[in-house]
């Protein structure tokens, strides 16, 4: 089954306009691998139908495949345009990112906004990655972007270890580190752009919120995980140790519940779920695995135990969707072929590839209904030295059952069936790479693929939209949103066990 992985380590430089950024990538790197980290959205999930990821080729060469050309023709783009979702880097390039010249995207539509004076900064404070965008409030254009790994990673990569470190006396240090990291990202942008910043809006999960705000996280460690201090929190920059001026204030947006943070509130706004008549779901497969279902009248949400496996935790060769992670597997002539993020040597597999691997092995009858390896071995070689163990498969089953069960119980709470859900949006780091056929076939989301959409970083999109809204809209969402404790449902065990089957 093993197939040789093509990998060429030649490097190219990409200059990005209008930001003036320069990045180095390996030869053959798909542009989606590097651009989504800057907050660039791929609204149709890379199908080539929306045209929103288009880039203008100012210098260099991007080869166009037949399908890429067909999509360019269908979208009636002139010859200098390419679609980032179909492009690979095979030479030094200078690109103009059209999305930074246009308005904020929400869903596949443009976000309606009232122009304001000055500039704003939207920050997605992720457990793993921090992204900050400087936005011109008169035009809603992105003027600059900074990204950084969350420096709290030294206290552990997941939320539990961060909460533990905080309880072990590191709380004040962790607060100081994250405030100063975000302050330095903003400072870098303000050095390049001498502009007046009106406001900074931050979103993140509840633990990140409490740590940034300097609040006690101990309630997140003890059942029933009830915590205060999750509402709007306003700061003057000096309180955060920031030496630059912000005209209005710095605001951390409110969490919905103890493990459903303002990143999900932002996701609700980004998907427009709270305004739709039809029931819509949002699934964020980040560190926590949060699920929301709702419409303009009622919204329910929950956190599940699905996140860690899809972030690579507990998977023997698991890793996050970063350079060196296998992002997808395909079956070509009965052989598995792999895509590696950043077109480099594979170091492990990320969540999307874990889903593909299980789907393909099941399709090939190498694993059975209960996830058992039918040969009796304790692992299966996938490609190169990358392998999947029996335990990895079982971890996947737990994670996929957690998502399927979450959807089912939340639908029950609304007294609707899953088929009443018109659209499911998938957010999260590896969402761009996910194979929708496989998640549907494996029963993780029991809906046809036409109803499932990838939406990238909904937290950042929502944070940007918050810059143009008053607090009434998020407050009205909070009022109609109910947080559900999935494990408290009397049918939880039965539904969960049934959803473990492949």
Chain residues binding ligand FES by CB under 6 A are 42-44, 46-53, 83, 85
Least distance in Å: CB of 241 to ligand FES?
Answer: 39
Least distance in Å: CB of 146 to ligand FES?
Answer: 23
Q: Which is nearer to ligand FES, 49 or 164 (CB)?
A: 49
Least distance in Å: CB of 41 to ligand FES?
Answer: 8
CB 422 within 8 A of CB 451: yes
Least distance in Å: CB of 84 to ligand FES?
Answer: 6
Distance, in Å, from the CA atom of 466 to the CA atom of 326, rounded to the nearest integer, reads: 34
Distance, in Å, from the CA atom of 347 to the CA atom of 129, rounded to the nearest integer, reads: 20
Nearest residue to 113 (alpha-carbon basis) of 81, 136, 88: 136
Least distance in Å: CB of 11 to ligand FES?
Answer: 25
- Start-to-end CA distance of the chain, whole Å, equals 22
Q: How is the beta sheet containing 129-136 ordered, strand by strand?
A: 141-149, 129-136, 119-125, 197-204, 250-252, 233-235
Least distance in Å: CB of 424 to ligand FES?
Answer: 18
Q: Residue 131 to residues 144, 145, 252, 259: CA-CA distances in angstroms?
A: 11, 7, 14, 21
Least distance in Å: CB of 45 to ligand FES?
Answer: 6
Q: Which is nearer to ligand FES, 108 or 216 (CB)?
A: 108
CB 294 within 8 A of CB 424: no
Q: Which is nearer to ligand FES, 378 or 437 (CB)?
A: 437
Other residues' Cβ atoms within 10 Å of the Cβ of residue 203: 30
Q: Which is nearer to ligand FES, 29 or 127 (CB)?
A: 29
Least distance in Å: CB of 431 to ligand FES?
Answer: 12
Q: Which is nearer to ligand FES, 12 or 47 (CB)?
A: 47
Q: Is 176 helix (H, G, I), strand (E, B) or coil?
A: helix
Q: Which is nearer to ligand FES, 53 or 424 (CB)?
A: 53
DSSP letter for each residue of 308-354: HHHTTTTSTTB--SSTTEEEEEEEETTEEEEEETTSS---EE-HHHH
Q: Which is nearer to ligand FES, 207 or 427 (CB)?
A: 427
Q: Which is nearer to ligand FES, 407 or 436 (CB)?
A: 436
Which residues, including other chains, have CB under 8 Å from residue 284's CB and lie 6 or more apart? Answer: 263, 264, 267, 290, 291, 426, 427, 428, 458, 459
CB 407 within 8 A of CB 401: no
Q: Which is nearer to ligand FES, 269 or 455 (CB)?
A: 455
Q: Which is nearer to ligand FES, 48 or 183 (CB)?
A: 48
Least distance in Å: CB of 44 to ligand FES?
Answer: 3
C-alpha gyration radius of the chain: 22
Least distance in Å: CB of 341 to ligand FES?
Answer: 17
Q: Crossing angle of helices 492-499/390-413, nearest 10°?
A: 130
Distance, in Å, from the CA atom of 267 to the CA atom of 285, rounded to the nearest integer, reads: 12
Which residues, including other chains, have CB under 8 Å from residue 261's CB and lie 6 or more apart? Answer: 203, 204, 205, 206, 207, 208, 209, 255, 290
Q: Is the dihedral of CA 188, 129, 303, 362 positive or negative?
A: positive
CB 37 within 8 A of CB 129: yes
Q: Which is nearer to ligand FES, 53 or 442 (CB)?
A: 53
Least distance in Å: CB of 54 to ligand FES?
Answer: 7
Q: Which is nearer to ligand FES, 65 or 493 (CB)?
A: 65
CA 197 to chain centre: 26
Strands 21-26 and 11-17: antiparallel
Least distance in Å: CB of 124 to ligand FES?
Answer: 19
């Amino acid at each position: 089954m093993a197939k040789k992985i093509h990998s060429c380590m030649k490097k190219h430089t990409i200059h990005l306009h209008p930001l003036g950024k320069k990045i180095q990538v390996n030869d053959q790197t798909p542009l989606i691998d590097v651009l989504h980290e800057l907050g660039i959205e791929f609204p149709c999930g890379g199908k080539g139908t929306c045209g929103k990821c288009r880039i203008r080729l100012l210098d260099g060469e991007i080869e166009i495949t037949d399908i890429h050309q067909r999509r360019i023709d269908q979208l009636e783009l002139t010859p200098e345009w390419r679609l980032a979702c179909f492009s690979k880097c095979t030479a030094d390039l200078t690109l103009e990112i059209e999305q930074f010249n246009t308005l904020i995207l929400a869903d596949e539509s443009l976000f309606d906004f009232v122009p304001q004076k000055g500039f704003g900064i939207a920050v997605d404070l992720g457990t793993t990655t921090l992204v900050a965008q400087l936005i011109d409030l008169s035009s809603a254009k992105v003027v600059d972007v900074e990204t950084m790994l969350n420096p709290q990673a030294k206290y552990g990569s997941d939320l539990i270890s961060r909460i533990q470190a905080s309880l072990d006396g590191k709380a004040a240090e962790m607060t100081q580190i994250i405030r100063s990291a975000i302050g330095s990202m903003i400072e870098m942008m303000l050095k390049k752009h001498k502009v007046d910043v009106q406001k900074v809006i931050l979103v993140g999960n509840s633990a990140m919120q409490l740590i940034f705000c300097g609040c006690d996280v101990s309630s997140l460690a003890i059942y029933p995980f009830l915590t205060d201090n999750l509402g709007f929190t306003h700061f003057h920059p000096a309180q955060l140790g920031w030496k630059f001026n912000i005209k209005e204030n710095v605001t951390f947006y409110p969490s919905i519940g103890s493990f459903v943070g303002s990143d999900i509130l932002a996701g609700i706004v980004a998907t427009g779920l709270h305004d739709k008549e039809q029931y819509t779901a949002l699934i964020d497969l980040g560190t926590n695995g949060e699920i929301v279902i709702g419409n303009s009248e009622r919204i329910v949400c929950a956190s599940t135990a699905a996140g860690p496996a899809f972030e690579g935790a507990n998977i023997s060769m698991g890793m996050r969707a970063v350079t060196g992670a296998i992002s997808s597997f395909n079956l070509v002539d009965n052989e598995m072929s792999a895509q590696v993020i950043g077109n480099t040597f594979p170091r492990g597999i990320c969540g999307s590839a874990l889903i593909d691997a299980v789907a393909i092995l099941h399709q090939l009858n190498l694993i059975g209904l209960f996830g058992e390896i039918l040969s009796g071995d304790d692992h299966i070689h996938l490609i190169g030295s990358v392998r999947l163990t029996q335990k990895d498969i079982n971890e996947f089953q737990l994670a996929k059952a957690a998502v399927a069960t979450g959807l089912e119980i939340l639908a029950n709470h609304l007294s609707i069936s899953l088929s009443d859900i018109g659209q499911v949006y998938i957010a999260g780091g590896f969402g761009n790479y996910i194979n929708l056929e496989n998640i549907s076939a494996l029963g993780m989301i029991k809906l046809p693929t036409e109803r499932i959409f990838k939406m990238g970083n909904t937290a950042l999109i929502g944070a940007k939209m918050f810059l143009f809204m008053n607090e009434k809209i998020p407050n009205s969402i909070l009022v109609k949103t109910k947080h559900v404790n999935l494990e408290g449902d009397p049918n939880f065990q039965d539904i969960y066990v049934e959803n473990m089957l492949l």
